Amino acid sequence: MLHEKRDGFYHCANCDAKLFSSNSKYDSGTGWPSFTESLPGAFNTKIDYSFGMKRVEYHCAKCGAHHGHVFEDGPGENGMRFCNNGLCLIFKPTN
């Protein structure tokens, strides 16, 4: 998942909702699949205070499965970094 380079879409492993385009995936060097943006309406977010930190947790808008945290240090225009659990994603190549 981390080293997937093909064109396609990343889906929720729990409910198959389409979450990310491969166009927004990049290598953040964290060891986690990272994305600059999600597909519109793919996720809901909430503030997560676990581990003594304030982070923004995001989860699948369809089934509620937790996918990761979003940080504001991304390389894209919007400055977002979606740090996703690779086990929560299924990749489906376009061709």
User: Which residues are annotated as catalytic?
Assistant: 83
Binding of Zn ion by 42 (CB under 5 A) = no
List the one residue from 44, 45, 63, 75 that touches Zn ion (CB under 5 A).
Answer: 63
Residue 26 Cα distances to 40, 50, 51, 54, 59, angstroms: 18, 26, 26, 24, 20
CA atoms 19, 16, 59, 89: torsion sign: negative
Q: Rule CB under 5 A: is residue 89 a binding residue for Zn ion?
A: no
By CB under 5 A, name the one of 42, 60, 83, 88 that touches Zn ion. Answer: 60
Residues 87 and 67: their CA atoms lie apart, in Å, by 9
**How far is the C-alpha of 9 from the C-alpha of 71, rounded, in Å?**
21
Out of 12, 70, 83, 89, the only residue in the binding site for Zn ion (CB under 5 A) is: 12
Helices (H), the chain: none
Q: Tokens 């996720």 map to which residue?
A: 43
Closest to Zn ion by CB, 12 or 83: 12
Smallest distance from Zn ion to CB 66, Å: 10
24 binds Zn ion (CB under 5 A): no
Site residues (vs Zn ion, CB under 5 A): 12, 14-15, 17, 60, 62-63, 65
